[in-house]
Amino acid sequence: MSRDEQLKQRWDLVVQKLSAQFAEGDTLDLDAIIYLIGVQELGQLHSKFKKDHKLDLMHIAICRLLEPYGYYEFDFYDDDKWPHYKIKEQLPPLKAGEQSILMKEAIVNYFLESEYIE
């Protein structure tokens, strides 16, 4: 099986499992999954978040997801227990499709690492 086929199968599994768990049968999109990862990383699973905090949660998730690729590094937790990251290396310019593939790969790796999927 090619790497692309394996990524697609694993991505579909992540979407299926998370959608069943959090979306009552609706299919979650990439942004919704990034948001869920941000909530998970913050550790405030049952909190309600304002719109600007939702963007912050997505930023946390993106930093965490791209940390293993060498783009970000965890820096510290602030007084409200929000994680902060520092940029280690600028992301290269990516086309929308390339960006989507990178994020899907990073999400799949995140859930493989946490043993949510195999």
Kindly report, residue by residue over 107-117, the tens digit of the pLDDT: 999 999 999 99
Of the candidates 65, 74, 16, which has an alpha carbon nearest to the alpha carbon of residue 37?
A: 65
SS (H, E, C) the chain: CCHHHHHHHHHHHHHHHHHHHHCCCCCCCHHHHHHHHHHHHHCCCCCCCCHHHHHHHHHHHHHHHHHHHCCEEEEEECCCCCEEEEECCCCCCCCHHHHHHHHHHHHHHHHHHCCCCC
- Quick check: is 118 in a domain? no
Q: How many domains, in total, are found in the chain? A: 1
Kindly report, residue by residue over 76-108, the tens digit of the pLDDT: 999 989 999 999 999 999 998 999 999 999 999
Model's pTM, two decimal places? Answer: 0.92
Mean pLDDT of 27-43: 95
- Quick check: is 109 in a domain? yes
What's residue 31's pLDDT? 96
Range of the domain at 38: 3-113
- Quick check: is 52 in a domain? yes
